[in-house]
Amino acid sequence: AQKITQTQPGMFVQEKEAVTLDCTYDTSDPSYGLFWYKQPSSGEMIFLIYQGSYDQQNATEGRYSLNFQKARKSANLVISASQLGDSAMYFCAMRDYNNDMRFGAGTRLTVKP
């Protein structure tokens, strides 16, 4: 079964600086999708960005970009120009060809003013 690993339980970043949240995955499927979600303290799950395994370019959505290194099986989230509202839990997830989806344990990001 596929596995998602987020090795950073907590991260701190200064407001307006960039931060990278790490995610590695393990799968033998050639076709899969990688997701990042944000979960603020209010509890809802907010979709941030998606990368398909066959996508040639790294995904970007506003201040979010996904650094996809397929050979290394990593899908790191880069948040540029951090804002106080970015403080939250961030989850990496992978959906395989059979639509089975697995989440990492998450990284708690704290943005300092």
Interaction site with another protein (CB under 8 A): 1, 4, 6, 33, 35, 37, 43-45, 47, 50, 52, 91, 93, 95, 98-106
Instruction: Quote the tokens at residue 9.
Output: 């339980």
Q: Kindly tell me which of 82 and 91 has the beta carbon lying closer to another protein.
A: 91
Overall residue count recorded for the chain in this entry:
113
Query: What would the DSSP string read from start to end of 23-59?
Result: -EEE---S-EEEEEEEE-TT---EEEEEEETT-SS--
Amino acid identity, residue 60? Answer: T
Q: Kindly tell me which of 41 and 113 has the beta carbon lying closer to another protein.
A: 41
- State in angstroms the smallest separation of the CB of 98 from another protein: 8
- State in angstroms the smallest separation of the CB of 95 from another protein: 8
